Amino acid sequence: MRAIPSVTHPGGPRGRRVIASALTLAAVAGLAACGTAGPSATTSAKGLTLWALNDQPILTRSVDAYNKDHPEAKITLRVFANDDYKQKLRVAFGAGQAPDLFFNWGGGALDDYVKAGKAAPLSASEVQTDRFLPSVMDTATFADKVYGVPVNGLAPVVLYYNKRVLADAGLQPPGTYADLLTAVAKLKAKGVTPLSLAANSKWPTLQYLQYLLDRIGGSGVFKKIAAGDASAWRDPAVTEANQDLQGLAKAGAFGNSASSVAYDQGSSTALLYTGKAAMELMGTWEYANIAKAAPDFLKSGDLGYTAFPSLPDGSGDPRGITGNPSNFLSLNAATKNRTAALTYLNDYVMNDDQIAAYLKSGSVPPVKDLDSRLAKVSSASDKRWLTFVYDLVRDAPGFQLSWDQALPSEQSDALLTATDKSFLREISPSAFGVTLSKATP
């Protein structure tokens, strides 16, 4: 990824994965009952209105390009910090003042708007959905209808490792979970933290549970959970995933101070590139953070990355990935500017210029047939990274959206709290699922 602006992690778990491309370094459930009092921005304004998060330079340039070509009816772009954005968007929809196009994370948060009749479906012919990777589009697809167009790069969660630290311990990057456990024991014996973890932030710990459940029980277990099946939290695979998480913690995989480390402080990242930790499970945005904080480490070639280890005895496909497929632009169902909005989504979002801009910045756009473009990337290290991310997503049978984004907003706090308690072994592995099944409406 790039370097300026830095990767943003606003608003906690739901906002942290908004990608600020960087290699070159530089509650909605009540919407339907909110009423529609007040003037509607979608019917009174000339031209399109679009709301998004700040620090989206490539999106902003696409708006500028559209406005240059449509001076008589420009897009009015408003950007917000993450903390403000979600609440203001919800209030705007309730008051009938929402924008024509709105930025979102897909998953449960978008589905809330879909169920409330606030987001409009988009047909394949209208937005050419076949140009995007299928695993990414799943995140914005509900009841076989598409409700969003990807608007930035791919962000799967991957296992980073310090090549020098592993080599000094006589280890290779773990391909299986058994390999990971072996590595944990050897690294701990050498006084090295095996896995850097910012457990104080809670969501980094959740990433382990996501992959463990996917590898153990397959993607179907969480699909049931995301569909609102509270009983699926009690699936034996959920319990086993928590057993493994607690087993890692008990084995010392995360060192002795993980619970005091917060992600936004950069401490967990620093443990990896300073060699105090051997590995770190984190989204692709971490590459940008490393490139900015420790460019010499990146240039040395000591940074490695791989997929989360497989569990040969599990039911899950080892090619399955979790993380943030992309962010999306969705269409307000009440818009009277649908034709103009579709023009923008078709001709100015993920067009050739945008694809080139994302690749130049070190972020992989979620489109098909990138091989020829990747082959032309001049930097060998950048090419390896971009190709790794692209191949990982292209070949994945599924791209599971991070749980705290896939589930409805009101369930996220309970999920993160239970995850932290499981990590700290304050609740039993089975109690994790029981607790969350009770928290599911």
User: How many CA atoms lie within 13 Å of 138's alpha carbon, on the beta-carbon side?
Assistant: 20
**In-domain check, residue 298:** yes
Are residue 117 and residue 43 in the same domain, yes or no? yes
SS3 350: coil
Are residue 17 and residue 160 in the same domain, yes or no? no
User: What's the residue count for the chain?
Assistant: 441
Strands 321-324 and 399-401, sheet pairing = parallel
**In-domain check, residue 7:** no
Are residue 144 and residue 163 in the same domain, yes or no? no
Are residue 296 and residue 433 in the same domain, yes or no? yes
Tell me which residue range forms the domain holding 31. Answer: 12-153+327-394
Name the helix (H) or strand (E) containing 28: none
Position 176, amino acid: T
Read off the CATH number of the domain in which 164 is found. 3.40.190.10
Cβ-based burial of 369 (10 A; exposed 0-12, middle 13-18, buried ≥19): exposed
Sorting pLDDT into bands at 50, 70 and 90, what band is 409?
confident
**In-domain check, residue 4:** no
Cα separation of 104 and 285, whole Å?
A: 18
Are residue 52 and residue 162 in the same domain, yes or no? no
Min mean pLDDT across 27-36, 121-130, 139-148, 180-189 is at: 27-36
Average pLDDT over all residues of the chain: 88
Q: Is the pLDDT of residue 15 over 80?
A: no
Token pair for 405: 């984004």
Cα separation of 124 and 231, whole Å?
A: 34
In this prediction, residue 380 carries a pLDDT of 87
**Which of the two residues, 359 and 29, has the higher pLDDT score?**
359
Q: Is the pLDDT of residue 21 over 60?
A: no
**Which of the two residues, 39 and 148, has the higher pLDDT score?**
148
In this prediction, residue 9 carries a pLDDT of 35
Token pair for 122: 């988009």
Do residues 184 and 177 touch, judged by C-beta distance below 8 A?
Answer: no
Are residue 266 and residue 372 in the same domain, yes or no? no
**In-domain check, residue 1:** no
Are residue 385 and residue 412 in the same domain, yes or no? no
**In-domain check, residue 58:** yes
Q: Is the pLDDT of residue 16 over 50?
A: no
Sorting pLDDT into bands at 50, 70 and 90, what band is 288?
confident
Are residue 294 and residue 202 in the same domain, yes or no? yes
Phi, psi of 35 (to 5 degrees): 85, 175
Sorting pLDDT into bands at 50, 70 and 90, what band is 83?
low
**In-domain check, residue 403:** no
Q: Quote the number of domains for the chain.
A: 2
Are residue 119 and residue 208 in the same domain, yes or no? no
Are residue 33 and residue 102 in the same domain, yes or no? yes
Record the pTM: 0.83
Are residue 297 and residue 190 in the same domain, yes or no? yes
Are residue 375 and residue 424 in the same domain, yes or no? no
The CA distances from residue 134 to 58, 103, 146, 218, 428, in Å, are 23, 20, 11, 18, 37
**In-domain check, residue 236:** yes
**In-domain check, residue 402:** no
